[in-house]
Structure 1
Amino acid sequence: MAEFATIARPYAKALFSLAQEQNQIESWLDELKTLAEIVLQTKVQLLIDEPECEDRKKAEAIISLLDNQPAESIKNLMVLLAQNKRLSILPEIYTLFQDYTLSLNHIKEATVYTAYAIDDAQFAHIVTDLEAHFKSKLKVHQIVAPELIGGIKVEVGDQVLDLSVQGRLNSLHVALMN
C-alpha cells in the first residue's frame, strides 16, 4: 500500500492544514474515519469501480450513507476524490490524517504484542517503560500473539523492539547458523 500512501499524502496534508485552520481536527478525524469505513465495504467498492457511473453521483452516493449531513468541505473533498479517481484511497488518507493528529499532540502509535493476556496494572507499567524508552507519549494497542512464547514485541512506526522468547530463539538460530 506504499503507492496509496504516496498518492494520499498530499490530500491528507492539505486536509490537515485546513482542519487546523478551522480548529476542527477532531470532527474531520471522525468524518474521515466514517468515510474510510464506508469505502471499504464491498458494495461501495463496486460502485467506485463502476465506469459508467458519473463521478459526482459516486461521491453523492457515498455521502448519502453518512448518518448526518457533512460539512460542505467534506462534500467538496468527496467530489474532488471522485473526479480524480481517488475514492479508494480514503482509508489511507484517514490513516495519514490520524498520524498527523497524533504527531501534533506529540503522541506515537504503538502496537504491543504479548504472548498472553496481561492485566491492566502490568500493561500500564509496560506502557510507562515504553514511553521512557521511546521518549514519547504512546497510544498503545495490545495484541495477544501466543507464537511469541513469552515476553513482548513492540512496534512504534518503523521501529521494532523484540523482547520475546521467539525473537531471542530466532537470534540464537541465526548466530548458530553463521
Structure 2
Amino acid sequence: MSNPVVAERYALALYQVGKEQNLSGQIDEELKTIKKVLVQNPGFIGLLKTPKLSVDDKRNLIRQSFPNVSPAVINTFMLLADRHREDIMVEVAESYINLLNEERGIAEATVYSVRALTADETKAISVVFAPKVGKQTLNIENVVDPNLLGGVKVRIGNRIFDGSLRGKLDRLGRKLTS
C-alpha cells in the first residue's frame, strides 16, 4: 500500500477520535505545529528510523519531543513508530488538516506577491478566490517573490491563478511568437 493511502487511513482514524472527543480544532493546531517542526528538522524522522533505536526508545523520544500534545496525537505517532511508519508522520498531519479543512469549507492557498500582503489584502484575496474553488474561505500562506514584478499569483491545490505582471508578459510573449 502506498504511503499517501496509509497516511490517509491514520489521519482518518485520528480525525474520528478528534470528532468523538471534541478536540478537532486542538488536534489541528497541534498537527500544524508538529508538521512545521518535522519539515524544518528532517533529521528527527531519520533518527526515528534508525534501526539501532528500539521501539520503546522511539516512543520515549516522541513523548519527550512533544510533551504538550494531546494523547490522541501522541498515541497516533507512537503507533506509527510501533509499525515502522515514522516516515509518514508529515503526510498524516497533512491528511488530517485536509480532512478538517474539507469539513469546514476551507482550502489551503499560497499567494506569491512582490511584497508581504496586509491583512486586508489577504482577506480580499480569500473572498475573491474561495468561491472559485468551491470553498467558503482560504488559509493563505504569503510568499514574497520579487521576480513577479507586480500583481499576485495564487495557488490553490493544483490550480494556479496567475495575475502577476511577469505572467502577463510571458503570455503576451507566447502569443506574439505564435
Give the TM-score band, short-chain normalised. 0.7 to 0.9
**Counterpart position of 2:103:** 104
CA distance in 1, matches of 2:14, 2:173: 48
Identity percentage of aligned residues:
27
Task: Kindly provide the amino acid, as one letter, of the partner of residue 14 in structure 2.
Answer: L
Map residues 147-166 of structure 1 onto 2, 5 A cutoff: 147-166=147-166
For structure 2, which runs of at least 5 residues remain unmatched after alignment? none
SS, match of residue 160 in structure 1 = strand
Relative to the length of structure 2, the TM-score reads: 0.82
Task: Kindly provide the amino acid, as one letter, of the partner of residue 30 in structure 1.
Answer: E
For structure 1, which runs of at least 5 residues remain unmatched after alignment? none
CA distance 1:131–1:36, change in 2 (3 Å): closer
Q: CA deviation at 1:94?
A: 1.0
CA distance 1:151–1:43, change in 2 (3 Å): closer
Q: CA deviation at 1:4?
A: 4.3
Task: Kindly provide the amino acid, as one letter, of the partner of residue 67 in structure 2.
Answer: D
Question: Comparing 109-118 with 50-59, which one deviates more in the overlay?
Answer: 109-118
CA distance in 2, matches of 1:79, 1:122: 41
**Counterpart position of 2:114:** 115
Q: What is the root-mean-square deviation of aligned Cα atoms in Å?
A: 2.5
SS, match of residue 29 in structure 1 = helix
Relative to the length of structure 1, the TM-score reads: 0.82
CA distance 1:9–1:108, change in 2 (3 Å): same
Count, aligned residues: 175
